[in-house]
Amino acid sequence: HITLKESGPALVKPTQTLTLTCTFSDFSLSTYGVGVGWIRQPPGKALEWLALIYWNDEKRYNTSLQSRLTITKDTSKNQVVLSLTNVGPVDTATYYCGHRPGDLDYFDFWGQGALVTVSS
């Protein structure tokens, strides 16, 4: 069945760039309509959508973070990479990636999450 797993640094210094990788299996990001999204959750707080990339390489970004975010995919490696520049303490959160089924507007499978702490 579909699985996703986030990987990246657990600790990042302020002003640095955070790069996270979502490695997935049992689906292809070249299949019509499929998307992979990134969602984060600060400790004890709500879910916040960050970015989404589709099978056809179309991308969507949270407008409040758009200038700092980049999402890319490597279909051959079954990976999606998220970069967040100029991080600060407010970016401390658990970062999740999720699978969006083709033409459906929810995430049916999620990764386990990666906790990222921004601190000097």
Partner 1 sequence: SHVLTQPPSVSVAPGQTATVACGGRSLGIETVHWYQQKPGQAPVLVVYADKYRPYGIPERFSGSNSGNTATLIIYGVEAGDEAGYFCQVWDKSGDHPVFGGGTKLTVL
Q: Answer yes or no whether residue 37 interacts with partner 1 by CB under 8 A.
A: yes
Q: Cα Rg for the chain, rounded, in angstroms?
A: 14
> Which two tokens mark 75?
């279909």
Query: Is 86 one of the binding residues for partner 1 (CB under 8 A)?
Result: no
Contact stretch for partner 1 (CB under 8 A) within 10-18, 25-33, 56-64, 76-84: 56-64
* Shortest spacing between CB 112 and partner 1, in angstroms: 5
Name the token pair of 118. 């921004």
> How many whole angstroms separate alpha carbon 51 and alpha carbon 112?
17
Q: Which of 10, 43, 46, 119 binds partner 1 (CB under 8 A)?
A: 46
Question: Which residue lies nearer to partner 1 by CB, 23 or 62?
Answer: 62
Contact region with partner 1 (CB under 8 A), list: 8-16, 65-73, 78-86, 106-114: 106-114
The answer to whether 44 and 64 have CB atoms below 8 angstroms apart is no
**Burial status of residue 45 (CB atoms within 10 A of its CB: 0-12, 13-18, 19 or more):** exposed
Residues that bind partner 1 (CB under 8 A): 37, 39, 46-49, 52, 60, 62-63, 96, 104-108, 110-113
